[in-house]
């Protein structure tokens, strides 16, 4: 999996499974320390995600919640979105179909 840093979050590409949780959490820690406010996870580049990825996203949501920060998840229709729907967590996440939609909702105008 490739992990790219966004101005206010992370973008993931490839496959998010158990082997990728540790690198994700390391990148997440660094990104959280150097950002504030709403945080975005862009999953639009993922081809595959299993329950390990879902659990990592839920831990991210909990961690941000302790800091009173919101989490937005960019996850258009496709395999990762189906996983989130199947395990029943779509309703507890703030999901967006595109980065533009998330930007409009979470990032205040400059």
| Helices (H), ranges, the chain | 21-33, 51-66, 79-86, 99-106
Q: Are 71 and 94 in contact (CB under 8 A)?
A: yes
pLDDT value at position 55? 97
44 in Cβ contact with 12 (< 8 Å): no
pLDDT band, very low/low/confident/very high, at 9 (cuts 50, 70, 90): very high
pLDDT in tens, 56-108: 999 999 999 999 999 999 999 999 999 999 999 999 999 999 989 988 887 55
Task: For the chain, give every domain's residue range.
Answer: 2-9+16-72+86-98
Look up the pTM and report it.
Answer: 0.92
- Strands 2-6 vs 9-16: parallel, antiparallel or unpaired: antiparallel
Q: Helix (H, G, I), strand (E, B), or coil: what is residue 102?
A: helix
Cα–Cα distance, 60 to 28 (Å, whole number): 8
Please give the pLDDT value at position 95: 96
- Tell me how far the alpha carbon of residue 40 is from its chain's centroid: 6
Which DSSP state fits 16?
A: E
- Tell me the CATH number for domain 2-9+16-72+86-98: 3.30.750.24
User: Would you state the torsion angle of the CA atoms of residues 86, 19, 32, 48, taken in this order, to the nearest 10 degrees?
Assistant: -40
8 Å CB contact between 83 and 54: yes
Q: Is the pLDDT of residue 110 over 70?
A: no
């Amino acid at each position: 999996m490739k992990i790219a840093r966004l101005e206010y979050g992370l973008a993931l590409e490839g496959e998010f499974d158990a082997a990728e949780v540790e690198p994700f959490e390391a990148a997440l820690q660094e990104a959280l320390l150097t950002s504030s406010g709403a945080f975005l996870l862009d999953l639009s580049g993922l081809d595959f995600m299993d329950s390990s990825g879902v659990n990592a996203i839920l831990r991210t949501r909990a961690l941000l919640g302790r800091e009173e920060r919101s989490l937005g998840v960019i996850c258009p229709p496709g395999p990762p979105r189906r996983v989130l729907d199947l395990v029943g967590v779509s309703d507890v996440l703030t999901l967006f179909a595109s980065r533009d939609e998330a930007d409009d909702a979470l990032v205040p105008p400059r």
